[in-house]
């Protein structure tokens, strides 16, 4: 498939945007239109280059909202992993090269410091964005600079302990840090509707914050036991309503969940957080992977990373091969062993299809364990299984196993 086979969509508003500064002159309605055009441009681009489509489509509105509300690159925007950074690249002066994405001499498939001042931190393994955000926030404080630091992290990346280590540190430092939890899979989120959107706007704004501060002043005259009980009532009432207790315990002011595709929800919350909060804040956004492109919405796994594809049909262009894939051979061999030995167990870290263990899981669901993005835990978990007399096969991509090496030792 060639570039000529997938012409650019008509994007009159997006054509006027060469940097995030151009978003400042657009009203909220125009920002919604811009998001629609940005989504079309992203689909068109990835149909030619291949890449991480589903994640990028899921953060289109969020990307537009962040760049319109905050003053990047003075304010630092950090994308965890970088799977979702294509819309960000289009808005930050790289649209003219976007169809060189992941090509030799072209744009990187992830954020890259050497590529743009709008990429303050390169993409590492997942779950690193909050740690990086704490570093940038601390540096700004030491330099006396008042700048916002925004770290966007997906719900899958929140399964790694590093994210909570960083949040615990940020809460202890009372860092000026905004963490946006991009939740597109987790079941912890209650339905996002008018009430939750209203509460999120209320809690992010001045009225609730002022009331909360006033109540702290009032209760300060009470004995310590009463003050603690009053604080717990406020915290857990809010936590039961929106699921934010865990983050509040780590020292973050929790806001959400909000609809990550609704500008009427996103923009006022981001503006309130920008103007009214100095400590660590977590905004819980609920999004949909592949949003706005039906084939990607219907098959999120297949459209996480794609080869070139036909925009109309969604059919991907993949080279045909008569040879079986390594992952399939591995899975079939492991299933054969498992049929003969009940002690054989399969363990993976959020990569069941990539390692072939999805096939094993279909045949032996009770002996298949996906521990999420937690390679250290996967290795130690497997070691204990082995110590208990089982025969675990821990399948992890070599580059992802780096954070598990210590546990192997």
The answer to whether the beta carbons of residues 118 and 77 sit under 8 Å apart is: yes
Task: Give the active site residue among 89, 99, 289, 291.
Answer: 289
Spatial distance between the Cα atoms of 191 and 194, rounded to a whole number of angstroms: 10
β-pairing verdict for 178-183 and 76-79: unpaired
* b/e sequence 230-267, b meaning 16+ C-beta within 10 Å: eeeebeeebbeebbbbebbebbbbbbbbbbbbbbebbb
Which of helix, strand or coil describes residue 284? Answer: strand
Widest distance between CA atoms in the chain: 78
Phi/psi of residue 111, each to 5°? Answer: -70, 145
The secondary structure element, H or E, covering residue 28 is helix 28-49
User: Catalytic annotation on 403?
Assistant: yes
For residue 108, the 8-state DSSP code is: -
How far out from the chain centre does Cα 339 lie? 38
30, 14 in Cβ contact below 8 A?
Answer: no
User: Measured between alpha carbons, how far is 315 from 257 in angstroms, rounded to an integer?
Assistant: 34
Q: Which of 276, 296, 273 is nearest to 285 (CA)?
A: 273
Q: Which of 37, 61, 147, 375 is catalytic?
A: 375
Q: Which residues are catalytic?
A: 289, 375, 403
């Amino acid at each position: 498939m060639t570039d000529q086979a997938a012409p650019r969509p008509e994007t009159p508003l997006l054509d006027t945007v060469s940097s995030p500064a151009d978003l400042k002159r657009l009203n909220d309605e125009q920002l919604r239109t811009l998001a629609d055009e940005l989504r079309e441009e992203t689909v068109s681009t990835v149909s030619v280059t291949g890449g991480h489509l589903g994640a990028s489509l899921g953060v289109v509105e969020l990307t537009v909202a962040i760049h319109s509300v905050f003053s990047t690159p003075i304010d630092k925007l950090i994308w965890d992993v970088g799977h979702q950074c294509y819309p960000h690249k289009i808005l930050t002066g790289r649209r003219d090269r976007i169809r060189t994405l992941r090509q030799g001499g072209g744009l990187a498939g992830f954020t890259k410091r050497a590529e743009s001042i709008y990429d303050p931190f390169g993409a590492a393994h997942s779950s690193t964005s909050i740690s990086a955000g704490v570093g940038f926030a601390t540096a700004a404080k030491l330099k006396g600079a008042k700048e916002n630091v925004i770290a966007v992290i997906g719900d899958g990346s929140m399964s790694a302990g590093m994210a909570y280590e960083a949040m615990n540190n940020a809460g202890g430092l009372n860092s000026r840090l905004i963490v946006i939890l991009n939740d597109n899979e987790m079941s912890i989120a209650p339905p996002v509707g008018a009430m939750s959107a209203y509460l999120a706007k209320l809690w992010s704004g001045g009225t609730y914050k002022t009331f909360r501060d006033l109540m702290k002043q009032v209760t300060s005259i009470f004995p310590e036991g009463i003050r603690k009980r009053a604080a717990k009532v406020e915290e857990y009432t809010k936590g039961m309503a929106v699921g934010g207790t865990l983050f509040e315990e780590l020292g973050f002011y929790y806001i959400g969940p909000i609809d990550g595709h609704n500008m009427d929800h996103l923009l006022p919350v981001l503006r309130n957080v920008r103007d009214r909060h100095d400590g660590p804040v977590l905004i819980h956004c609920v999004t949909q992977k592949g949003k706005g492109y039906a084939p990607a919405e219907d098959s999120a796994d297949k459209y996480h990373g794609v080869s070139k594809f036909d925009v109309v049909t969604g059919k991907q262009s993949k080279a045909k091969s008569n040879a079986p894939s390594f992952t399939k051979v591995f899975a079939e061999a492991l299933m054969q062993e498992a049929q003969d030995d009940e002690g054989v167990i399969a363990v993976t870290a959020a990569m069941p299809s990539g390692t072939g263990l999805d096939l094993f899981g279909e045949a032996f669901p009770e002996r298949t364990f996906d521990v999420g993005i937690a390679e250290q835990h996967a290795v130690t978990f497997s070691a204990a299984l082995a110590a208990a007399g089982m025969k675990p096969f821990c399948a992890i991509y070599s580059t992802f196993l780096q954070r598990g090496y210590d546990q192997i030792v």
